[in-house]
Structure 1
């Protein structure tokens, strides 16, 4: 009997380790080799216009990269909303920047999906500011102020367009945290991100968009980030999901 229990424990440990390693590999590939950005939505994936829909937009955080199960924050939010017959449509694209989301908003299928949404969440801006960490490593040689200015302009345009497509939906934007705090230029990026989040709140107020500020959620890289040290850990994703549901419900 003891051997049987030990065998079951061993198999379970190997299985959990495999899941964790798979999550690490997915996160690493997303940073080093971002997938091709497919911005359009095909007819077979677009929900029917009848009924209520929860639409998720943005980048890899909305895709759930870094989560050991791939659930991220969208899946638990969607599961909670399903109790009220709300269907989930995740249109996020890993590696997307603000200009990519603006291009996606030009797609007719995407626009129709947003028009039919009851709830909308989005994450965007991190790839603009960090550029896979290159802007942090080369802080002195990059015109980071221009990068931030351009990205803010795009973010404001995104807010205006999404609200313009749907005047009644509840919309939530999850702002930025700093995954590079241990970098020698990490402290300089703290102020940039705080400023970004403050601007996002201002843009959001103008368009009746709620803004979640997750800056304080990442203070311990090993605990608060995934093994790729860029995307949220399961613990942080759970916090984001709780925040989103608190606003939506």
Structure 2
């Protein structure tokens, strides 16, 4: 929790003193929360602060919104929930938002792949346990956000970070996203939340992911912004 507090303090200072926030005349606000995907990791070599090429900033520019990017590389869904429940800086930023962009879960799942060192022998029961915890954390995070604000919450599901692996990763990812999508559908009945389908948008597009990496290219970030904007306009 201390690590999250320090990182959030740094990110909030960055968004005040560096041009990684975009400002609007109407002062409507968007806050991006989650991991390295909304942060725009590896779009620049330094990775010292959220990239201006990250998809939340593209969305903010298109919609004339002030954007605060609280993405933290390496963040898990459990850590995001901790911030939503107990980090005053995080919560205060959320309160003042008109839109929330949420992308989380990749680090929860990447741990399984790292533990196995490859895709061989992944036990679906092991995947199911991770997914159960992920879904609980996302549900609880959205509920915490809903207590703080009437903002529209855009929840992205999880794209395939290893498209070159083919069908070997598709089964667990398909299972994960069925559960993820069902959760957001349930939440939409009593919170202001919408699902943004990154999984389908990236399917069949290996060029959306940096070669030898798991993070989106500039084109991939553009696609994430585009599907988010489309959802906002529905």
TM-score above 0.5:
yes
Query: Is the partner of 1:41 in helix, strand or coil?
Result: helix
SS of the residue corresponding to residue 129 of structure 2 reads helix
Q: Show the counterpart of 1:99.
A: 78
Q: Is the 8 A contact 2:181 2:195 kept in 1?
A: no
- Residue 241 (1) aligns with residue 225 (2): yes
Aligned residue number for residue 40 of structure 1:
8
Q: Distance in 1 between matches of 2:171 and 2:227?
A: 27
1:174 equivalent in alignment to 2:153:
no
Of residues 59-68 and 180-189 in structure 1, the stretch that sits farther from structure 2 once superposed is: 180-189
Cα 1:234/1:193, change in 2 over 3 Å: farther
TM-score, scaled to structure 2: 0.77
* 1:141–1:53 CA distance, 2 compared to 1 (3 A): closer
1:1-249 mapped onto 2 (5 Å cutoff): 37=4, 38-41=6-9, 44=13, 51-67=27-43, 70=51, 71-82=53-64, 86-105=65-84, 106-131=86-111, 133-134=113-114, 137=118, 139-140=122-123, 143-166=126-149, 168-183=150-165, 185-206=168-189, 207-220=191-204, 222-249=206-233
C-alpha distance in structure 1 between counterparts of 2:83 and 2:7, whole Å: 5
**Structure 1 unmatched runs, 5+:** 1-35
Highest CA radius of gyration, 1 or 2? 1
Write the distance in 2 (CA, Å) between the matches of 1:221 and 1:243. 15
Query: Structure 2: which 5+ residue stretches go unaligned?
Result: 17-25, 46-50
- Contact 1:175 1:200 survives alignment (8 Å): no
Q: Which runs of 4+ in 1 moved over 6 A?
A: none
TM-score of the pair, normalised by structure 1: 0.72
Q: Secondary structure at the match of 1:94?
A: coil
1:77 CA displacement: 1.2
- Determine the C-alpha separation between the residues in 2 that align with 1:228 and 1:65: 14
Find the aligned partners of 2:170 and 2:61 in 1 and give their Cα distance: 37
Is the contact made by 1:226 and 1:232 (CA closer than 8 Å) also made in structure 2? yes
Judged with a 3 Å threshold, the aligned counterparts in structure 2 of structure 1 residues 160 and 135 are, in CA distance, closer, same or farther, namely farther
